[in-house]
Amino acid sequence: MTRSVSIIGKIKVTIGVCVKNAERTVEFPIRSILKQSYPRNCMELIIVDGSSKDRTMLIIRRLLKGVDLKTKFFTENVGLGFARQLVVDNAEGEYIIWVDDDIILKRNFVEKQVNFMTTHPLAGIGKARYGILRNSSHVAFLENITFVIETLKPYEEIPPEMCVTEGAIYRLSAIRDAGGFNSSFKGAAEDTELAKRILSKGWKAYVTDAVFWELCKESWRDLWNQYVWWGKGWHQYFHKNKEPILLLKMSPIGGFLAGILRFPAAYLLTHRKLLCLLPFHYAFKRIAFCYGVTKAHFEGYGHY
């Protein structure tokens, strides 16, 4: 089902939101989209619902009711790669900004992302910076700070594995040049797989100066489940791309070392003693990740 609201003006940027069973958090990204300083008649919103079983779509439709923003709705039950490609196939903008169901955009986010791409014609991907979300649990803080540290330096060139779609802007011509998203990817790593192909075509990927906040998992159990799910998706990526060095980096040992290496910058930024747990936090989520990869291997997940 598709609904469009006609508005006079040339669409410059498409905001793609792929959601599934996100009733607890989806209100935050939608409200932050509606508060953007960028002109609404130059934006469009594409919502792709992965056949949610909860109130996700009811909440979205309530928030968008009567709003003067060109909007299209789609429903799918194939997987995340297919959902992303639905946005690409129906996008009218020159750029696509990907907004996940658990992030909050700063008010000037869209404006900064579009300006960055306009002034960097070789950029195929612009990854925004993670902001520090205050008053979160210890688990959420440790998870949040890892991403904050990775995107501290605006205009720095980054590898494919850092080009996750949340909070990122993709040039539509770069996506099409690389052949689009692989629709066989049901879960995570669909963005890394595409980013690898985009960069192989000569496009560049950078950290931008736009800022957003991610609502990270608040408990160890939820963090474990998230990384098991990511591991299952990444199994498909590793099956397609033989990268032993990257696989080693994603191991528990690689995670523990990454936590040690990131501790100094994280401590200088926040001065929190809790960061002594950062290596163990990294190792914990990498154990979950590797469990997901192994589980997917024995289940035959991602063999295409």
Q: Tell me if 47 sits within 8 A of 73, measured CB to CB.
A: yes
| C-alpha–C-alpha distance, residues 250 and 280, integer Å | 14
Query: Could you tell me the sign of the dihedral formed by the alpha carbons of 99, 301, 172, 125, in that order?
Result: positive
What pLDDT is attached to residue 9? 59
- Reduced to 3 states (helix: H, G, I; strand: E, B; else coil), residue 129 is strand
| pLDDT for 6 beyond 70 | no
Question: What pTM, to 2 d.p., does this model score?
Answer: 0.91
Structural fold of domain 1-217: Spore Coat Polysaccharide Biosynthesis Protein SpsA; Chain A (3.90.550)
| C-alpha–C-alpha distance, residues 257 and 252, integer Å | 9
Least reliable range by pLDDT among 1-10, 86-95, 201-210: 1-10
Cα–chain center distance at 174? 17
β partners of residue 207: 127
Confidence of residue 301 (pLDDT cuts 50, 70, 90): low
Cα–Cα separations (whole angstroms), residue 20 to 56, 57, 74, 132: 7, 9, 12, 25
Identify the helix (H) or strand (E) that includes residue 147: helix 138-150
Q: Which is nearest to 166 in space by CA: 2, 265, 51, 22?
A: 22
Q: Which runs of E-coded beta strand occur in 20-69?
A: 43-49
CA–CA–CA angle 129, 164, 276 (5° rounding):
60
Burial letters 26-54, b for 16+ CB under 10 A, else e: bbbbbebbeebebebebbbbbbbbbebee
Residue type, 134: R
What pLDDT is attached to residue 188? 87
What digits encode the pLDDT tens for the residues 210-235?
Answer: 999 999 999 999 999 999 999 988 88
Neighbours of 207 (CB within 10 A): 22
- For range 184-208, the mean pLDDT: 94
Say which DSSP state 40 is in: G
What digits encode the pLDDT tens for the residues 147-161?
Answer: 999 999 989 999 998
| pLDDT for 303 beyond 50 | no
| C-alpha–C-alpha distance, residues 248 and 245, integer Å | 5
Say which DSSP state 209 is in: E
- Higher-confidence residue of 119 and 237: namely 119
- Phi, psi of 207, deg, nearest 5: -80, 135
Domain ranges of the chain: 1-217, 219-304
Say which DSSP state 171 is in: E
Enumerate residues 6+ apart whose C-beta is below 8 A from 170: 95, 96, 98, 124, 125, 198
| C-alpha–C-alpha distance, residues 92 and 125, integer Å | 18
